[in-house]
Amino acid sequence: MLPLRKKLFIICTCLWMTVIFLFSARVAEESTADSNVVIDAIGNIVIEDYDEYTEEEKSQFASSVEFPIRKLAHATEYCILGILLMGCFVDKKHSIVMYGGLSLVISACYAMSDEFHQLFVKGRSGKLTDVLIDSGGALVGILITILVVKKYINFKERKNAA
Whole-number mean pLDDT of the chain? 94
Q: Is the pLDDT of residue 162 over 80?
A: no
Q: Enter the DSSP assignment of 112.
A: H
Could you give the number of structural domains in the chain? Answer: 1
Q: How many CB atoms lie within 10 A of CB 130?
A: 21
pLDDT digits (tens, 9 = 90+) for 131-150: 999 999 999 999 999 999 99
CB 71 within 8 A of CB 42: no
Which are the contacts of 51, defined by CB distance < 8 A and separation ≥ 6? 44
Buried b (16+ CB within 10 A) or exposed e, 65-90: beeeebbebbbebbbbbbbbbbbbbb
What is the per-residue pLDDT for 45? Answer: 94
Residue 56 CA to residue 35 CA, distance in Å, equals 17
pLDDT digits (tens, 9 = 90+) for 40-81: 999 999 999 999 999 999 999 999 999 999 999 999 999 999
CB 72 within 8 A of CB 136: no
What is the per-residue pLDDT for 156? Answer: 86
Range of the domain at 94: 4-161
